[in-house]
Amino acid sequence: MNRCGFGLLAMLGVCCFLGLCLCTSLFYYHQLVDGTSITYTTSKKTVKSSTYRMKNDYSDVATTYVSLKEYHNLELRLKEGAKKYVEETSIDGENNIIISLSTLQSKKIIALLYDSNGYQCNGYVIYNPNNKQYVPYLRCGTYRSADYVNRLE
């Protein structure tokens, strides 16, 4: 008996390989869509890094197009606005409180935040009433604070 073509085992092997390729490409697509790539400039050329960003790991970034110091200053403004909001509002309880930028804007505590590229920023502050700690989270253009969650805006 003369057999032509591939067998079941070869077909399953090819399907597993294609599934692995699909999973890998979905992982990198998710990283790209999340906006976690970093745009930075070196020697007057704009280069876009396609590697995913570790938590606050900017060691390989030479000169940023919009400096990280600017984003940290915007986070500081957000944090100061949240402190003012907590002083004006009586907050009871022991649970963490999420204070969004839109809440601060509606109370006229802080104006709209923009980076130097003109992107409007969004964010929130998590306030812990037990130890009076404020942790700001900011999203502007492609920049995101580490552990930023969109649904908390």
- Say if 4 falls within a structural domain: no
Give CA–CA dist 128/126, Å, rounded: 7
Confidence at residue 148, expressed as pLDDT on a 0 to 100 scale: 85
In a domain, 69, yes or no: yes
Q: Identify the CA nearest to 144 among candidates 116, 127, 124, 118.
A: 124
- Domain of residue 105, residue span: 10-152
**Assigned domain for 85 exists:** yes
Query: What is the number of structural domains in the chain?
Result: 1
Evaluate if residue 70 carries a pLDDT over 50. yes
**75 domain-assigned:** yes
Residues 92-118: pLDDT tens digits? 778 888 999 999 999 899 988 888 888
Model pTM above 0.85: no
